[in-house]
């Protein structure tokens, strides 16, 4: 897959998540958050009002810190596809 194709697939996956109205499991949300931040090179601090949520988000970012931007996009796409394939 070319870089351009990967970017298109990534944007489609992001749009799919943003359009979904039902709640996501917390572990899925944290993975999506970390992969998205890594894929978009957005290293700003978590902005939740709840310190515990910020701690979980920071931990998720640490777990994704050693992957490349393209790998993060691929993981995000796979997570989205698997979520919608296997959800009940």
The CATH number given to whatever domain includes residue 65 is: 1.20.80.10
Q: Looking at the domain assignment, is residue 14 inside a domain? A: no
- The CA-CA-CA angle for residues 1, 61, 72, to 5°, reads 0
Count of CB atoms within 10 A of residue 30's CB? Answer: 19
Domain extent at residue 54:
25-86
pLDDT tens, 1-24?
Answer: 899 999 999 999 999 999 999 999
Mean pLDDT over residues 20-46, rounded? 90
Q: Looking at the domain assignment, is residue 38 inside a domain? A: yes
Give the number of domains in the chain.
Answer: 1
Q: Looking at the domain assignment, is residue 9 inside a domain? A: no
Q: Looking at the domain assignment, is residue 71 inside a domain? A: yes
pLDDT value of residue 17: 96
Q: How many CA atoms lie within 13 A of 21 on its CB side?
A: 0
Range from 15-19, 23-27, 75-79 carrying the lowest mean pLDDT: 23-27
Q: What is the rounded distance in angstroms from the CA atom of residue 40 to the CA atom of residue 65?
A: 13
Per mean pLDDT, which of 6-20, 32-46, 48-62 is the most reliable? 6-20
Q: What is the rounded distance in angstroms from the CA atom of residue 86 to the CA atom of residue 88?
A: 6
Q: Which two three-digit tokens encode residue 1?
A: 């897959």
Q: What is the rounded distance in angstroms from the CA atom of residue 87 to the CA atom of residue 4?
A: 29
């Amino acid at each position: 897959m070319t870089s351009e194709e990967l970017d298109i697939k990534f944007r489609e996956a992001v749009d799919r998540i943003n359009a979904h109205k039902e709640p996501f499991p917390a572990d899925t949300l944290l993975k999506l958050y970390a992969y998205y931040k890594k894929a978009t090179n957005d290293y700003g601090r978590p902005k939740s009002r709840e310190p515990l949520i910020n701690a979980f988000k920071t931990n998720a970012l640490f777990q994704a810190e050693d992957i490349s931007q393209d790998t993060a996009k691929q993981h995000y796409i796979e997570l989205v596809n698997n979520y919608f394939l296997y959800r009940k």
